[in-house]
Amino acid sequence: MDPLLKVVIVDESPVRSAIIEEGLREAGFTQVTRIEEMANLLARIYALDPDVIVIDLENPSRDVLEQMFQVSRIVKRPIAMFVDQSDAASIQASVDAGVSAYIVGGLVKERVKNILDLCISRFNAFSRLQTELDQAKTALEDRKVIDRAKGILMKAKNLTEEEAYALLRKTAMNEKKKIAEIAQSVITASEMFK
Amino acid sequence: MNEDPRLRIGFIPLADAAALIVAVDKGFTTDEGLDVELKREVSWSNVRDKLNIGLFDAAHLLAPVAIASSLGLGHVRVPILAPFNLGLNGNAITVSPDLYAALAASVEGDLANPMNSAKAMARVVAERRARGRDPLAFGMTFPFSTHNYQLRFWMAAGGVNPDEDVRLVVLPPPYMVESLANKHVDAFCVGAPWNSVAVDLGVGRILHFVSEILARAAEKVLAVRERWAQDNPNLLLRLVRAHGRAAGFIEESDNHAEVAAILAAPNRIGVDAEVIMRTLAGRLKVSPDGAVRTSNRYLLVGRANAARPDPVQAAWLYAQMVRWKQTELSDTLLAQAVAVFRPDIYDQAVGVPGPMPAGEPADGVGAFAGPAFSPKDVAGYLRTWAIPGR
């Protein structure tokens, strides 16, 4: 590991790139820069003169980086770690995580492998956070729908809250559906009867 | 060998993915017993890499990338085959209103003539240099792209040296319009629908359809790994046959509305169907003031034998890679490049097409300037283009 390696993170997601930067800094890399603005990307990268560039696979600007491969323009030729077929497991891990890296300074691959590994784990951590956030949002939405359906049932059938919930749950089990789906049907039906 | 009919095929949301998208969404691939999952991608690098490492079985790919990959240019060498040509032409050169005005002020004759416009560009470039202004910047989609070669071919014919006099920069197609509006570039060459989007927003003016520069230019191909083709010969034929049917369907003008609706879907190209209709009809609004230009060559999907891969096109693209110093000239590399295009597989799957219709260029390329192209004498062809002092 070489803490003086200059690493540039190209990512339009500020949260994710902050997570990666933090990871790299914790691992001892001191020269980490984030680029979130894609305009004039190549000029920004040339100005920073990095050794390693990390970019997410959902970023259309990956094609911009390809221009660095054109020999006529610059001396330093980058290597894409992603397409080095000698390490299939590493490729699969990068694709699954959605990250790719380019080594610019003619460095030995092994010296920067831990950077990619670190980025892969941080990318995965970020998607886990994203998933958890999405699940929390869905749970909150579901809760609102179920509460409304309970209210409708309590009024229409003169039930207690517990009884209304038990009815929703029993119906969901019988129909092999989620309680939120049944609750949504109750709301839809009640709106049609209005 | 058991061939698994579940295929994953990558594409970029562009109008010239039409044959692939229609083949799948009209059920032509299902009719051939294939179960295709289309995967929309955001960059050509992703498409190429995912095809190369086997995450995609086939892909909508820039024709020059198929060749570059097979020759190992810029990246690891992965032999690719192109058994079906998804489109000829389809790109346009769009310039900012300022650059258009400068060209119009410098041109001798009609600016719609590409030789006139290229010479006007040379004058604008010289004048900017004399005034110490920054060189003009041109957006294009990829180092190994027809867009790159079309821009270079055109401006070099007028005396502009694309490596010295201007800046050519790679821009992802969805960023082209914004970059033109923000003056990060002065012009770009890109496929449909992005030129029309720039015109509709009033930030650009279409200067040329690339079909005015080259009558026939292989744009995108259906690409598969050579290895995959060897392992799955029957799937390959069925896939190509479904594409042949789709290309025929797309070229019936009665079907244009349906095709445009299929392509416009949010998970396909995701733009207004009306914009796609313009491309299919070859009738484009070229100026924010509403002026329209019509061409029966704007994008050729199946007509004029467009879908049959033409080895002459592969040779021409290889010649451009040599001309612009992306690779060296050798008989071996030329033979490898030509072998990427596989009309024999097309013929086996779809049938041998009829004779080329009248009006198609005799050399298979039909450039607006320079000598006829011959794959037998690439060196001689390139000598005619040598720029003095290079």
Residue B207 reports pLDDT greater than 60: yes
What is the layout of strands, in order, in the sheet containing A31-35? A31-35, A6-10, A52-56, A99-103, A79-80
In the structure, what pLDDT confidence band is assigned to residue B267 with cuts at 50, 70 and 90? very high
Question: What is the residue-averaged pLDDT of chain B?
Answer: 95
- Asked if A85 has any chain B CB less than 8 Å from its own CB, the reply is yes
Give the CATH fold of the A6-132 domain: D-Maltodextrin-Binding Protein; domain 2 (3.40.190)
Are B55 and A95 inside 8 Å of each other by CB? yes
Q: Are strands B137-140 and A31-35 parallel, antiparallel or unpaired?
A: unpaired
- B 143-172 → A contacts, CB under 8 A: 143, 163, 169-172
Cross-chain CB nearest to A82 (options B44, B49, B184): B49
Cross-chain CB nearest to A70 (options B52, B143, B173): B143
Residue A121 reports pLDDT greater than 60: yes
Task: Say if residues A67 and A42 touch (Cβ distance below 8 Å).
Answer: yes
Are A72 and B172 inside 8 Å of each other by CB? no
Q: Which amino acid is at B368?
A: F
In the structure, what pLDDT confidence band is assigned to residue A85 with cuts at 50, 70 and 90? low
The domain A134-193 is placed in CATH, from the list 3.40.50.300, 2.30.30.240, 1.10.10.10, 3.20.20.70, at 1.10.10.10
Cross-chain CB nearest to B46 (options A38, A62, A84): A62
Tens-digit pLDDT profile for residues B91-101: 999 999 999 99
Residue A93 reports pLDDT greater than 90: no
Are A40 and B55 inside 8 Å of each other by CB? no
Residues of chain A with C-beta less than 8 angstroms from the C-beta of B174 = 60
Q: Kindly list the domain boundaries of chain A, sorted by start residue.
A: 6-132, 134-193
| CA–CA min distance B56, chain A (Å) | 12
Q: Are strands B283-285 and B292-294 parallel, antiparallel or unpaired?
A: antiparallel
- Asked if B53 has any chain A CB less than 8 Å from its own CB, the reply is yes
Distance set, CA B206 to CA A9, B181, B286 (Å)? 36, 14, 5
Query: What value does the mean pLDDT take over residues B295-319?
Result: 97
Mutant choice from A44, A62, A63 vs B, greatest count of B C-beta within 10 A: A63
pLDDT computed for residue B215 by the predictor: 97
Are A63 and B45 inside 8 Å of each other by CB? yes
Residue B349 reports pLDDT greater than 80: yes
Residues of chain B with C-beta less than 8 angstroms from the C-beta of A100 = 45, 49
Query: What value does the mean pLDDT take over residues B250-262?
Result: 97
pLDDT computed for residue A107 by the predictor: 60
Q: Could you tell me the domains of chain B?
A: 6-88+219-272+300-383 (3.40.190.10), 91-216+278-294 (3.40.190.10)
Tens-digit pLDDT profile for residues A51-76: 888 898 888 998 998 887 665 444 45
Mutant choice from B8, B14, B43 vs A, greatest count of A C-beta within 10 A: B43
pLDDT computed for residue B389 by the predictor: 40
Task: Say if residues B183 and B153 touch (Cβ distance below 8 Å).
Answer: no
Are A60 and B172 inside 8 Å of each other by CB? yes
Query: What value does the mean pLDDT take over residues A107-133?
Result: 78
Are B53 and A66 inside 8 Å of each other by CB? no
pLDDT computed for residue B296 by the predictor: 93
Both tokens of residue B167?
């800046």
